[in-house]
Amino acid sequence: AGVMAAAALQRVADVEIDDGGAFKYVLLRVRPRAHGASEPGKEVVRGHGWAEYHADIYDRVASELEPQGFDCECLGGGRISHQSQEKKIHVYGYSVGFGRANHSVTTEKLKAKYPDYEITWADEGY
């Protein structure tokens, strides 16, 4: 089951964010809900402008992934400013409900998806 779980986890995108603008994001840990799953899982980044609250993003991702056999845990949130024309992304702020995500983890994920971008982060700002 471990191999299948790992393969299924590969299909979950590491990063899904809007193409541009400033929006809320959450950092989630996704794990296969296998029997005795000691799987560490992986962190994924989700950021969308339609979300009024960080919980809106979390709820949507959890409702998509849980029927596929995954558990989701929110590790925190913040905001992302995505300037696609300038190829710049800035990660900042926090979530009132979930606390501040580890922006350095988020930044590493974003760098993997957008290798030609300038990606920065800061703890200040809301």
User: Which residues neighbour 6 within 8 Å (Cβ) at sequence distance 6 or greater?
Assistant: 32, 39
Provide the residue-wise pLDDT of the chain in tens; the chain has 126 residues. Answer: 567 767 788 899 999 999 999 999 999 999 988 755 567 799 999 999 999 999 999 999 999 999 999 999 999 999 999 999 999 999 999 999 999 999 999 999 999 999 999 999 998 765
CA angle 38, 27, 75 (to 5 degrees): 60
- As annotated, the active-site residues are 54
Binding residues for substrate: 24
Residues spanned by the domain of 44: 1-122
Whole-prediction pTM: 0.92
Q: Count how many domains the chain has.
A: 1
H helical segments located in 1-126: 2-10, 54-65, 103-113
Rounded distance, CA 21 to CA 42, Å? 26
Q: What is the CA radius of gyration of the chain?
A: 14
